Amino acid sequence: MSRKLKSSAVCPHCWHRFRPDQTLWVAAHPELLGDRLLTPEDPVRFLPSRFTPAGEAIDPAGSKTRRLACPNCHLEIPQLVLECPMVIMSLAGSPSSGKSYFLASAMWKLREELARHFSVAFTDTDPAMNRAITNNEGQLFLNEDQSASVAIDKTEMEGAQYNSVQFDPGVATMLAHPFIFTVRPSRDHVNGHAPHRLTQLFTLYDNAGEHFFPGADTARAPGTQHLAKAQVLMFVFDPTQDVRFRQRLAGVSGDPQLAPGAKTTRQDQLIVEMARRVRMHAGLAPQDRVPKPLFVILSKSDIWGPLLKDEDGTPMDITTPPYARERAGLGRMSIKRVDRTSDRIRALLCEVAPELVSAAEDAFERVIFIPVSAIGTSPVLDPASGLLKVPVARIAPRWVTVPFIYTLARWSTHLVSSDKSEGDASFGTPLDSTDMDPS
């Protein structure tokens, strides 16, 4: 541990705040199995007293280890959690609104686009922890067979969404699984000489939609506590699950999700429930607005995009990215264009589903509407499996990176430039940023 550690860190699994010297290590010796809070197959966690000159800890059976764990929940944490500020984002939305496709598509495109336009590297902080997402990215974007049609496996994603810890013997507590990404300037970035100081972590939670229905048990699901810790909340709104949008879309798109009989959801109620949980976990009064930004992400824009018009009635461009390289080593985000698009979506929603706008704006201090399409094309019903599958050759995501790069542009002016220089108070500051050395 030669680099500079923060004075304290927060566990991305259980939110326990601890000093780096309290960190536990994960035993490497094959006989040291059976941690008391985890499963009999999990290696024991220990507080080391001996280290190698290279900074590895030596476990009680004499094996060397580099793996770290939280002193409270014993789940594994990446070393960078002890070093870098963390931005926490929580994603919610009704089942089948497109959360898993959006996450896979957004993470893949962030790797590509941040490198290409911004000279910023976006990588897995710990590849093993992100496997559920990277598997999905692989299916959609790295398929060798370009004639294949694929579907993201629902059960795999949901199995990977929670980790079980036995704080009391025999009682399993489910903690939401964090997906952690490292954002850092590359060597050719204008601030590439100080990469360590500008490195930050994006920690994401993909909530199982089912847990968000009002009345779903919360006592056994501390899985939603991250909502209170998150600096940025994202709600995926799926217009194809709204009766009124479906009526308007009947002649506009032939997507199988618009076929008669599909399930519809009261999505405004989910926003209200999300806000209720944020307030509860954060100790806010029921009438208080949540002092954080909410991105309302309208998914599947390939289907409903034609409904979105500019003030003069012309269709809006929601395909070309609102960012580009500004000069060598620096990319620029057009916050103005995103805000203008958000205004137009708000106007459309006020016409078609006004209660959604009121629910969001009543609960959150700042609401930004973003149109995304994870795949940019319609899935096709596969008669053999009954699944909706996506022809990989047609995948072309739209705007999936925008909420993330917008957030970066608001926070990290040293990393991403924008057409609005002043900060945005409602974006607050990243968790632990007080420990960060302003450059």
Ligand X SMILES: Nc1nc2c(ncn2[C@@H]2O[C@H](COP(=O)(O)OP(=O)(O)O)[C@@H](O)[C@H]2O)c(=O)[nH]1
**Which spans of this chain sit near ligand X (rule: CB under 6 A)?**
93, 95-101, 152, 154, 209, 255, 299-300, 302-303, 373-375, 378-379, 388, 390
Q: Which residue, among 383, 385, 212, 370, has the nearest Cα to 305 in the 3D structure?
A: 370
Size of the site for Zn ion (CB under 5 A): 7
- The interface mask with Mg ion, positions 142-181, x = CB under 5 A, is ---------------x------------------------
CA count, 13 A, side-chain hemisphere, 166: 12
Residue type, 423: G
Q: How far apart are CA 254 and CA 217, in angstroms?
A: 38
**100 touching Mg ion, by CB under 5 A:** yes
As measured in angstroms, the least distance from the Cβ of 101 to ligand X is: 4
Q: 78 or 305: whose CB is closer to ligand X?
A: 305
Q: Is 24 helix (H, G, I), strand (E, B) or coil?
A: strand
What would you measure as the largest C-alpha separation in the chain, in angstroms? 73
Say which residues have a Cβ less than 8 Å from residue 320's Cβ, sequence separation at least 6: none
Minimal distance, residue 14 CB to Zn ion, in Å: 3
Which amino acid is it at 88? I
Q: What angle do CA 66, 69, 71 make, to 5 degrees?
A: 135
The one among 24, 28, 37, 73 contacting Zn ion by CB under 5 A:
73
Q: Are 66 and 23 in contact (CB under 8 A)?
A: no
The residue range among 55-63, 65-73, 285-293, 403-411 that interacts with Zn ion, by the rule CB under 5 A, is: 65-73
Q: Which does 70 bind (CB under 5 to 8 A by kind): ligand X, Mg ion, Zn ion, none?
A: Zn ion
CB of 209 to Mg ion, least distance (A): 7
Smallest separation, CB 298 to ligand X (Å):
10
Least distance between ligand X and beta carbon 100 (Å)? 3
Which residue in the shown chain puts its C-beta closest to Mg ion? Answer: 100
| Rg of the chain (C-alpha set) | 22
Site residues (CB under 5 A) for Zn ion, limited to 6-25: 11, 13-14, 16
Report in angstroms how near the CB of residue 261 gets to ligand X at its nearest.
15
- What are the helix (H) ranges across 234-378? 243-249, 267-282, 301-304, 335-352, 354-363
First-to-last CA distance in the chain?
22
116: CB partners within 8 A, 6+ apart:
325
For residue 180 the two structure tokens come to 């952690």
What whole-number distance in Å separates Cα of residue 201 and Cα of residue 136?
21
Q: How far is the CB of 74 from ligand X (least distance, A)?
A: 29
Note whether 203 binds Zn ion by CB under 5 A.
no
Given candidates 23, 65, 72, 241, which one binds Zn ion under the rule CB under 5 A?
72
- Tell me if 267 contacts Mg ion by CB under 5 A: no
Binding flag, residue 175, Zn ion (CB under 5 A): no
Q: Is 177 in the site for Zn ion (CB under 5 A)?
A: no
Residues of this chain that bind Mg ion (CB under 5 A): 99-100, 157
Residues of this chain that bind Zn ion (CB under 5 A): 11, 13-14, 16, 70, 72-73
